[in-house]
Structure 1
Amino acid sequence: MEKPFANQSMAADTHLEDPMQLHNRTVDALEGLSGVHPGKRRVHAKGLCCRAVFRPSGFAAGLTIAAHLRDKTAEIEAIVRFSGSSSDPSLADVLSPGKGLAVRFMPAGGDVSVLTAVTVPVFFAKSPASFLDLIKEANRLKGGGIEAIAAAAELAAHFPEARHAMAHVGKLRPPASYGTCRYYAIHAFMLVDEKGNRRPAKFEWMPELGVETLSIGELKSLPEDYLERDAAERIKKAPLRFRLNIVLGREEDPTDDPTLPWPDDRERIEAGILDVTDVIEEPDGLLMDPTITGEGIEPSDDPILRFRSPVYEESMRRRSRGE
């Protein structure tokens, strides 16, 4: 049996690392999950890019000056990337439990804003150092031949902050479509209005088709890339539509810890509708960095959110060099 993560020296070493090198070490660790796949992202490696249009409802106009959320008469161009969560671009869709939806809003005359979301509402770690510890331990367990379910249970046991996320991952079922998933942006952001007032908020995408999953029996006849094929076929007939909800936080809601959920009773505002209209080739250098928010939305004090930017940049540097 593998030793539990009582290997405190490894955790201690990670927490003493130079912060300037922590993002490099994190990308190195992510590469250890399935090896290096030249030119591909270190996570969410397999994906499908699409053209989309976002139409704001205008209901958020009193909360933020963000260009893509204010004018209900506007049609905002966007690029969408659906993806699996794995670092292996060849992995069958069904074997990558979490799915992602990243949207790059490109309002005419306004700031670009990026929103990344996944099919679980919380993250696995609350600090960059603990995230690196967790990835290192996942690599160790994989190297020891531990099966995925047992490895997840061991990680949850020895990283208590990951338990919420692991529990949600354990409940995930294969989606019928990228267009039938509910996606959560995980992190808290700050909405900034015309007077400079700031209010914490989270974002969610709700599928117009409703949430739909597949049984094991239904999956047996599907190809490994069934989600990409399904999305392309659906889009030929009609756009895939999502409604963007803004979840408004209260003073007591944590903004600095993405492992903790907010209460379900928080006020929600429907901020607009996203229509995914065409499948496209992924643009060169597409970077879905969630800290690119534009005027009117600011990253919160969540250290994981702010850490994602240098990690994404390092991943981009490596894949742009064909590594």
Structure 2
Amino acid sequence: MDNTWGDLTNPTVDELERLSGVHPGSRRVHAKGICCRAAFKPSGLAAGLTTAVHLREQGGEVEAIVRFSGSSSDPSLADLMSPGKGMAVRFQPAGGDVSVLTAVNVPVFFAKTPSSFIDLIKEANRLKGGGFEAIAAAAELAAHFPEARHAMAHIGKLRPPASYGACRYYAIHAFMLVDAAGKRRPAKFEWLPELEVETLSLGALKSLPEDYLERDAAERLKHAPLRFHLNIVLGQDGDPTDDPTVPWPDGRERIEGGILEVTDVIPEPDGLTMDPTVTGAGIEPSDDPILRFRSPVYRESARRRGRGE
């Protein structure tokens, strides 16, 4: 267990709770969501790069749980009011290691260290208390935290998606693929929907229910699975693995790791935690301090949630 940032864990969760108050039993972020059953079918194209079971077995099928969510800490917030969307996948291969991949609909994060993350959340809370509108607050944050400029630029362009199944999702962090000889290669992951990426027009927003994304997913899954292709983006020398605020250059080699089929809505399993540092054999967290800090923050959030706090 990494205790490097142990003194920041509780204060960080405290600041996240201040964003919209404490909602007992709910996650501290991505509070509102829907869980689904899924199956992942590996392409086998990554077999030479990693020993990860869920990426190697061409023609096989790996059980998975998917959680789609909004980014807000408020579980009652209308879907329209939370521009960031998430897709977390828990791969559960038979007889193999569980591996978790969390992704959102922006390609970079807004902080590169745990210290700057908590400072930014504190500033967001201050601006919220001062009555800033969301756009003005984002501009203010970008001015005070230059490392956040890429993420804020992407967030500023977000429009309400037509469906959870019509978003492109990015895992944000770099990971290390480890092959049978122990060779390590940096990689990032992206989910590309088979549905066309689609956002809603202003006219369509007027009549939407607060939980339109959950309703849409449930209705679509009555007729056909939602499918996503897993892109594995291969890094090169010099590509940063320790800074999730900086995008890798365009044109990096991509291979398709497989296809995820989301089949039906299920109740959320008790105690489900989507910790992205749970990678299983063949994939390792990179030296990204934000990635590694997420694990103790998730644990503390889950502890409070489990106690009904």
TM-score normalized by the length of structure 2: 0.98
**1:103 corresponding residue in structure 2:** 89
**1:195 corresponding residue in structure 2:** 181
RMSD of equivalent CA atoms: 0.7
**1:263 corresponding residue in structure 2:** 249
Q: Which runs of 4+ in 1 moved over 3 A?
A: none
Unaligned stretches of 5+ in structure 1? Answer: 1-17
Structure-2 separation of matches of 1:195 and 1:104? 26
**1:273 corresponding residue in structure 2:** 259
User: 1:176 Cα shift?
Assistant: 0.3
Residues 224-261 of structure 1, C-alpha deviation per residue, up to 9 Å, x if partnerless? 10000000000000000000000000011000000000
**2:307 corresponding residue in structure 1:** 321
Give 1:61-210 correspondences, 5 Å limit: 61-210=47-196
Any idea what SS the aligned residue of 1:269 has?
Answer: strand
Unaligned stretches of 5+ in structure 2? Answer: none
Residues 66-120 of structure 1, C-alpha deviation per residue, up to 9 Å, x if partnerless? 0000011211000000000000000000110010000000001110000000000
The one-letter code of the counterpart of 1:213 is T
User: 1:210 Cα shift?
Assistant: 1.7
**1:303 paired residue among 286, 289, 306:** 289
User: 1:148 Cα shift?
Assistant: 1.0
Structure-2 separation of matches of 1:192 and 1:210? 33
**2:32 corresponding residue in structure 1:** 46
Structure-2 separation of matches of 1:264 and 1:276? 29
User: 1:19 Cα shift?
Assistant: 3.1
1:213 aligns with 2:199: yes
The one-letter code of the counterpart of 1:88 is D
**2:44 paired residue among 40, 58, 65:** 58
User: 1:51 Cα shift?
Assistant: 0.2
User: 1:189 Cα shift?
Assistant: 0.1
TM-score normalized by the length of structure 1: 0.94
1:248 aligns with 2:234: yes
Any idea what SS the aligned residue of 2:275 has?
Answer: coil
**1:3 corresponding residue in structure 2:** none
Structure-1 separation of matches of 2:7 and 2:269? 29
Residues 138-192 of structure 1, C-alpha deviation per residue, up to 9 Å, x if partnerless? 0011111111111110000010000000000001111000000000000000000
**2:274 paired residue among 285, 288, 291:** 288
The one-letter code of the counterpart of 1:235 is L
